[in-house]
Every structure is written in C-alpha cells, then in structure tokens.
Structure 1
Amino acid sequence: MKHTIYILAFLVSGSLFLSGCKPNLDLINPQELSVDTYYKTPEELEAAIIPAYQAIVGRTQGGYARMLYYELLAPGDDFNHTFKWEPMYQDTYNTPSSDQMPVATWKDFFNGVFAANIALDRISNFTGTIDEARKNRLLGEAHFLRAFHYMHLCMLFGETIPLITDPVKSSDEYYPTNATAGQIYQLIIEDFQKAVELLPERSVLYSNAANIGRATKGAAEAYLARAYMYRPILEIGKPAEFAKAQVQLKNVIESGQYHLMSSYSDNFKEATENNAESVFEVQMHNGTGWLGDDLSDSWRWQEIGMFDGTGGAWWNLAPNKKTYDEFEPGDPRKFMTLWCDNGAKYTQIDGTVTDYKYWMAHLATNKDLYGTRKYCPDVQVADFDDGINDRLLRYSDVLLMYAECLNEAGDVPGAKKYINMVRARANDVVPSEQPQLWYQHSPGTIPDVDKLLAKDTVINGVRLNTIKNIIAHERYVEFCGEYLRYFDLLRWGMADPQWLEPLKKIGWTPRAMYYPFPQAELDNNSNLKGNAMNN
C-alpha cells in the first residue's frame, strides 16, 4: 500500500529558502488553514507527518521522483551521462551554483525539514486527547524524517548547511547562518536514536494496512547504522563509528522482521513493493494528471532505463562498461540490473519485441554504455512515468553493512557468513523471469567467499583477495543503480585514499565532494556562506 496523500502546502508560509523577499508575518487570512488553526485533533497530527514524506518524492522534482537520482548516481564511477544530455554537470565535478538540480533538491529537502519541525512542535505541544502509543509513533516518524532529510542535505551539500530545529517564529529566523562542524551529524544521530526509541516494529505498525510504507523501528535502526558509517562524509575528518553501527544492525537482524526475497528482482517491481526485504522505501504513485494527483510519480524508467531509440525512452544516464565488467560470470543479477547482450528482451508499446541487437542498431552513439533494467518495466507503458517505489534501504544492505562492521572488528568468519547470505540469494533460480534467460531454470554459479578468495580474481583492477575488497565488489553489484556506490567510495576514501582513485581518474577532486549551495540562496541570505564549490 502506498502513501497517496498530496498535502504539499505544508501548512507553512512557503519555503524559507530561495524566496526573493522578506515575508510579512503579521498578515492572517482567517479563511485559510495555518499552523495556528490546524493540528487540533489526532487526525490532523497524522496529516502533519505527510508533507515530510512527500518531500522525499520532491514537490519541485528535486527528490527521488526525478532529479535526485542524477545527483546521487552521476558523480560515481559506475554511471555516465549520455549524448542525450550535454552538458550534465553532475558527473563533471563542476556543477555551477545556478544548476537547477541541486537548487530543487535543496528546496525539497529543506521543505521536508520544515515539515518535520512543525510536526515535532505541534505533536509535542498537543493538549488534546491522544493515545500515548500513537503520539510516540508520530513523534518517532517526525524525528526519523528530519534526520533523513538532513542526512541527504549533508551528503549533498556538506555539514555547513543551516541547522534549523524549530518552526520559524519571526522574520529574523528566515536568514540562518551556517552550522558549525559536527552539529548536523549530531542532530542526525540524535534524531535517529529518538526514532528508534519511539517507533514500533514493522509487524506492529504494518498490521494496520494504512500504515504500510511509514518509518518503523527497523528503518530507524538501519539508518542510524548507515549514518554512523557515513560519518566521514557527514562530519569531515572524523572516522566511521563501526562499533555503534554494528549494534544497530544486529538489532535489525535479530528482530526477525526482515528477510531476503528469494528473487532479487522482486525488489524492483511494482507488484512486490513493501516486501519483507524492504526496510524503507519511498512511496510512488502514478496518477492521472500533472496538476491533479500525478505528483508522486517516478520518471526513472524513462530517463535512465531503456536505450535511446527504443520505446521512446530518454536514456540520459547509463551504466558504463566498468559496471558491466564488475559482474562475475554466472551472476544472474547482471541481467536483472542491466539491459545488455544475452539479457532480457523489451516489448515496445506497439508490441515489437526488441533485444540487444535491435537496440544497438537503433542507437546513435554511446554504444559502450548500457541500459538500466532495474526499476524499468519489461513492457513499455503508455506514460513516461510510473509508480514503482524506490527501495532506499534493503535488508541485503543491512547484511552487508553488518559484514563490514564485523570485518572492521576483526571477525572475519562472521563477515563471511553475512556476505555469503547475499551471494547465495543471488544464485537463486527465478521462475518469474523471461523464459530465454538461463537463470529461470538453472541457478547462478557465483562462488562463496572462501572459493572467491581462493580464485584470487581481479575485477576492474581490484584483486578480490581481502574481505574488504570482496565487500566493496559485492556492494557494487548488489546495489548497482541504488545510489550507494559514490558514497561508499567517499566514506572509504576518507580513511584510505586508495578508494578515491576510481573517482580521481574521472576528474574528482576534494573540492567537488559536495554540490554548491544554490546561488539564489546566498544572494537572498547574507548570513550564509557557501562551501568550497561556491568559491
């Protein structure tokens, strides 16, 4: 079940950022809802949370509905922009402060922060009658969502973004200053910790179908662990907190709330959303009109899915040859992730069944790139968008993060165990697949960790002769196209610069670690200074 509520005004006076003039806070229209006339019932408190969820999708398309996947994927070494989008700055490490992608993302995710702040304030100060468990759950969701939005903002723009923890009460608060070192990271950690304390387990919350898709205790624990491991990019100069992450990940595993789906591809289909492997996913909904209820749709398949010249797709961003080569022989995930040779076929809207030979014959250039089958339907849909939920954190990530923590602690046998769980699932037969694909009736053949070590395989110049290298390889192929590769390289590279080499080879510099603050924001707010990319 999806969130299909589109309350996008946020019941505030609009975004505080990217506004051209100081608002008159004394003007009150008694005919309109406001923060003073709303939030008077438990039902209205429930509604207070929805805008913070909606901001993940992105009202101005700066969220996961559209622009964010470019910003998260393009800087990595695994995807390249195609000839269809010249120039795309995100993979050149030279994004200007006027570029509309980061501008939209800044606005959408700060809208999420504002919505979470209002919800926290109104729920905490509610004087009416409300069940304590319900109130705690709502507070837990608000803390989770504020941490979620700030984590994204910090990953993308750095730790000197403004820190705002309360609803704006006066015009002076419209012009915040930069956060100081460590403040944003501390807020993210504390918010996720509070969410862990307040949120119910998945089985309890989702027993009411209306709550499916909301944040749970397991989601808060998993994101808290991810934040601990992302510390090197959330708080520059500080090491990852693997031991703390390990505790949270163990809690998720031992909760019994999640398990791997038998079919890897079930994680990327609309029919199998919010499944047992999904720890947290953004709820997409493809409505019927651009200005009606079509505000939570995904453009992903159209923009980064099928090849250009086939099925009307735009194909702006594509997996590269390095990504294709990263998959081991006999790994079915290659063909569930990529449109490539010897892989799946695609049926166009006119009924034409096409294959790799057809795609190459109709592709003008960039024939060394591939299509992204993950999240892309095998049969073309009439609309350019769809409602397939984006799985933002899966149980397989929990297992591989846990393996990484165990390896950092010196528990190599334990690390092998959890890596093997993910690799074993990759070998599963997939009866629902297209009949010409060999893994519909035969298992994959990738070896377990010990056998992989014994082979001393070299892939893309990296020897798989250590557990760390195998974890890096496994994360590359398991989560290809799921927005993790670039940030994995960054967080590892802060501790060991060798992991930055793949990025440096394609032009990355420390200056380009984050996107610039929007120039319009700096023009409007003299109290705020940009980051290194603004200089």
Structure 2
Amino acid sequence: MGGGCKPDMDLTNPQEISIGTYYKNVAELEAAIIPAYQAIIGKVQGGYARSLYYELLAPGDDFTHTFKWEPMYQDTYNTPSSDGMALSSWKDFFNGVFAANTALQGIENFTGTIDAGVKNRMLGEAHFLRGLHYMHLCMMFGETVPLIEKPVAGDADYYPTNSTAGKIYARIIDDFKQAAELLPLRSAMYANAAFTGRATKGAAQAYLAKAYMYRPILEAGKTAEFDKARDELKKVIDSKEYRLVDNFRDNSLEATENNAESVFEVQMQNGPGWLGDDMSCSWRWQEIGMYDGTGGAWWNLAPNKKTYNEFEPGDPRKYMTLWCDNGATYTQIDGKVTDYAYWMAHLATNKDFYGTRKYCPDVQTADFDDGINDRLLRYADVLLMYAECLNETGDANGAKPYINMVRARANKVVPTEQPQLWYQHSPGTIPDVDGLLAKDTTINGIRLNNIKNIIQHERYVELCGEYLRYFDLLRWGLADAKWLEPLKALGWTPRATYYPFPQAELDNNKNLKGNDMNR
C-alpha cells in the first residue's frame, strides 16, 4: 500500500481501559494504588504469601532447610538463575513498581476536583510503595536492577538496561522522603477504618531510616548513614504514635494485627479456596511452621540449634518464637493435643531443628493457608535501630534505655498464654543491659561485653523469623568483616551477596546484563 493510500483510521479501542481513559475521578485514583499493595503479598506467589520467607530467611545463619526440601538452593549460596522463586519475586516486585508508577502518573496528571490532603496522601502511598518495592529488589538482586520511574509508553520501555551505581539507592531515599512529607500520621490514617494497614508518615520515616542503615547493601561500597537514620527514627519515637504492646506474642497473632506496635505489616486475608483461588493469604505456617509429622505440616525451613541457643535462660520469647522442648503444645485438626515428645517421636530426621511458632496458630486450621499478617516493621525494631544509631554515632550510654525497653517487655507475664507455660504466671528473668554487661556472658561465640554485640544479640532473639538476620549480618559485615564469619562458615562468598537475575528475564531482554551470580 502506497503512502498516499494510508487509511485514516481511529485505532483506539473504546472498550479498552488505559491510563488515558481510566483515571478520571478520585475513586479510580484510589483504586490505582491497591495493586502496589497487593504486589507485596505477591500475585505471582513471589511475595510474602509464599516465596519470600524462603528467600529472606534461608540465607541467614538462623534458619536451615530440612530433609523435606532437597535440594533447596536459598541457603546454599548457589541459587541458579533458573530458580522459580527468584523469578516470581522479580515479577511481583516489578509489578509493584509498575503499579506505583501508574498511580503516581494518574494522580499527578489528574485535573479534576480533589481535596489537597487526599491527593497528598495518595501520592505519599504511591511513593512509599515504589520505594518499598525497589528496596526489596535491591536487597535481593543488587543495585543494577533496571530503574523504571514511569509507566511503559512504548516498545523500548519494555527492554530497560541496568541501573548505574547509586541510582537505585537515591530513588529509594527520595521516595521515602517524599512519602514522609506527604503521608498523614498513623492516627489520622487509621481514623478511617478502611485505611487500616496502609502506609503512614511513621512507616515512611522508619523505612527511610532503615534504607540509610542498609546503604552498604543498597549501594555497593558505601557506608551506612547512621546520623540521618538516627534523626528519622527520633521523629517516629517522638510522634508518640507507637508503643510496645504488653504481650510479645500479640505481634504474631491474627486477632491482634495492626496493633500499637505495628509500623507496617502485610495485610493477609484467608478467603475460600487455596492453590491459586485465594491469593491474599499466607502459607507460612504450613511450610515453615510446625514440625513434620504433625497435622500435615511440610516443615521445609526451620530454626536451627544456634537460634535455640541464642535465647538467654529465663527469656519467654524463646517459647513464643519456637516450637521446642518445655514450650507450647499444638492441637491438630482432629483435636489431638501434641507436645515436643510427640513431635520427636513422629519426626523422621533433623531432630536438632525446631518449629517456628511465631506467626503459626496453636490450633491447626482446616486450610493450608491462613490470614496472619507479616509484621514487616515493628516499633521494637525502631527502638533497636535507634539504639544502634546512637551507639554508632558515639552515644553508647544513650542507647541503653531503648534496648532496655525491649528487654523489659520480654520479661512481662503473658496471661493469655497456654497455662502450663511458666511465664503465663511468672515474669521472665533476663537482666537489663548493665546486668548483661556485668555477666560478661558469651552466646554462640559472641561475647556480650559491649553495646554493639548486645544489639546484635537482641535483634537476633526479638526479631527472629522476621526476615532481618541475613541482612543485619550483611550490612554489618560490609563494614566489619568479622560479622560475615557466620555466613562464610556456611559457604557464603561475596559473589553470593544477591540472588542472580532470573534467566528468563535475561533471555527476554537483551539490553540487561546479570549480576555476579549470573557469571
């Protein structure tokens, strides 16, 4: 067909929803944000609903894969680029980036009538979520993942190249900064019950601080910005929006989700169906909760002996975190109440590993999944990060009260616990920081004779199973190599800092080069 014969056709499909035809009112702008939240759960099952608890926990020295999953690559530091879990997470987090970018463009370009506070809140949520998705991508795959800051506009946008040094870190910092400026306080956000669980000013400030502390992971060769992190964490503390709840276990139960200690958590919902019919639920209890041989649990990943030994005598958190000897009982769906002796009698092997009681119900559910939220950032973490920042900026004594707050809560009686557990009626007996220093004890080869080592220990036990241990060791180890020794003993090498880029992505996008694990 010659140029003069080109038909004059309108090729717009009037039934097709697009950015240009959809975001025409405030309700549609609100709806644009939701997919960015859903991507954290993981519609491709690469989020916290399923894959991430393997990918974030297994590389640490605190969890080990059991005989139930051979081979599992995530704790061997030799994950192949063909690994399905890595691909699923890559897809889900980039879906989240796409959703956040789309929401930002729709909100920024909106010309209709909208309340300024509502617009700022929505922009803040979108910036927060883009920063959160990029933080996960950078933690898992390194800073050379593609940097995508706007929705796809043409074919070329489908094939981005690698980001350059420092760009992703700068994007994460800027997104969290903007979110912190735009978002309301938790009390204002949660005044609308429908917004419970959404990002807030405190969440943005806390994640901004966390990003500053994670800089050695997010930007290769750079040091943590403890002074900047300290200032952001102080804002969260001074806001009086958060407090430690009385019962440590309330931070892993479905009935006490989004409590006063919650800074940000993944909102899980256990609806009807499973294996694809219900995509907003958690499989965590089934896959890494109870021991094998009890109630049909799979027990693919388990806390190891080192984790068991990290808890001090008299620390009730041990029994609220682990399924172990002298701890809680578990009721199977048939009504049979089982205990540690029963689990050991029915366990084929790996009897020196433990179950994960945190986020696991004490009574078996009829479904494989449940609706227990993952608490991604708690106020206890804020206090311990602030103590770390104070210590790293020269105020070791100033750090002590914040560590003591967490340790004092650990000692509290938990009246709602199972009645045979001693701390249901008697307090715990772990000492405060000065008492711990005076004891000069050594746990798992670390001498607790200085504030840094005590913070390391306290983060281990307080936040066990909350996806932080590997990244704590990594960020400390990139500044002081001694902290990498526990990982090196398991086979870790610098090459294995991140997961490889998925081979399917490299095959599809010839403009993209993999990281060291792809070579």
Q: TM-score, normalised by structure 1?
A: 0.94
State the distance in 1 between where 2:329 and 2:89 align.
Answer: 34
SS where residue 302 of structure 2 aligns? strand
For residue 414 of structure 1, report the CA deviation from its aligned partner. 1.2
Distance 1:88 1:129, change over 3 A: same
Task: Output one character per residue of 1:105-139: Cα deviation in whole Å (capped at 9) or x when no partner.
Answer: 00000000000000000100000011000000000
Instruction: Tell me what 2:172 maps to.
Output: 188
Matches within 5 A, 1:84-163: 84-163=68-147
Instruction: Tell me what 1:265 maps to.
Output: 249
Instruction: Tell me what 2:453 maps to.
Output: 469
Task: Output one character per residue of 1:241-297: Cα deviation in whole Å (capped at 9) or x when no partner.
Answer: 000000000000000000000000000000000000000000000111348862100
SS where residue 19 of structure 2 aligns? coil
Instruction: Tell me what 1:78 maps to.
Output: 62
Instruction: Tell me what 1:516 maps to.
Output: 500
1:347 matched to 2:336 = no
Contact 2:274 2:368 (C-alpha < 8 Å) held by counterparts: no
1:439 matched to 2:423 = yes
Distance 1:31 1:373, change over 3 A: same
For residue 29 of structure 1, report the CA deviation from its aligned partner. 3.7
State the distance in 1 between where 2:293 and 2:232 align.
Answer: 46
Instruction: Tell me what 1:506 maps to.
Output: 490
For residue 35 of structure 1, report the CA deviation from its aligned partner. 2.0
The unaligned stretches of length 5 or more in structure 1 are 1-25
SS where residue 495 of structure 1 aligns? coil
1:218 matched to 2:202 = yes
For residue 28 of structure 1, report the CA deviation from its aligned partner. 5.0
Distance 1:291 1:452, change over 3 A: closer
1:46 matched to 2:30 = yes
Task: Output one character per residue of 1:226-249: Cα deviation in whole Å (capped at 9) or x when no partner.
Answer: 000000000010000000000000
Instruction: Tell me what 2:514 maps to.
Output: 530
1:333 matched to 2:312 = no
Task: Output one character per residue of 1:303-324: Cα deviation in whole Å (capped at 9) or x when no partner.
Answer: 0000000011000000000000
State the distance in 1 between where 2:357 and 2:410 align.
Answer: 16
Contact 2:97 2:130 (C-alpha < 8 Å) held by counterparts: yes
State the distance in 2 between where 1:97 and 1:309 align.
Answer: 33
Instruction: Tell me what 2:258 maps to.
Output: 274
Task: Output one character per residue of 1:446-497: Cα deviation in whole Å (capped at 9) or x when no partner.
Answer: 0000010000000001100010000000000000000000000000000000
Structure 1: which amino acid aligns with 2:335? G
State the distance in 1 between where 2:11 and 2:474 align.
Answer: 47
Between 1:289-298 and 1:501-510, the stretch displaced more is 289-298
Instruction: Tell me what 1:15 maps to.
Output: none
SS where residue 74 of structure 2 aligns? helix
SS where residue 80 of structure 1 aligns? strand
State the distance in 1 between where 2:277 and 2:488 align.
Answer: 43
Task: Output one character per residue of 1:140-199: Cα deviation in whole Å (capped at 9) or x when no partner.
Answer: 000000000000000000000000001111101111010000000000000000000000
Question: How many residues align structurally?
Answer: 510
Q: TM-score, normalised by structure 2?
A: 0.97
Distance 1:510 1:28, change over 3 A: farther
1:497 matched to 2:465 = no
Distance 1:32 1:360, change over 3 A: same
Structure 2: which amino acid aligns with 1:471? I
State the distance in 2 between where 1:424 and 1:27 align.
Answer: 67
Instruction: Tell me what 1:3 maps to.
Output: none
Structure 1: which amino acid aligns with 2:443? I
2:472 aligned residue (459, 482, 488)? 488
- How many percent of aligned residue pairs carry the same amino acid? 80
Structure 2: which amino acid aligns with 1:380? Q
Structure 2: which amino acid aligns with 1:150? Y
1:316 aligned residue (300, 315, 321)? 300
Distance 1:422 1:124, change over 3 A: same
Structure 1: which amino acid aligns with 2:227? A
Contact 2:274 2:367 (C-alpha < 8 Å) held by counterparts: no
State the distance in 1 between where 2:403 and 2:121 align.
Answer: 33
Structure 1: which amino acid aligns with 2:383? L
Matches within 5 A, 1:413-424: 413-424=397-408
Distance 1:231 1:453, change over 3 A: same
Structure 2: which amino acid aligns with 1:74? A
State the distance in 1 between where 2:477 and 2:337 align.
Answer: 44
SS where residue 36 of structure 1 aligns? helix
SS where residue 124 of structure 2 aligns? helix
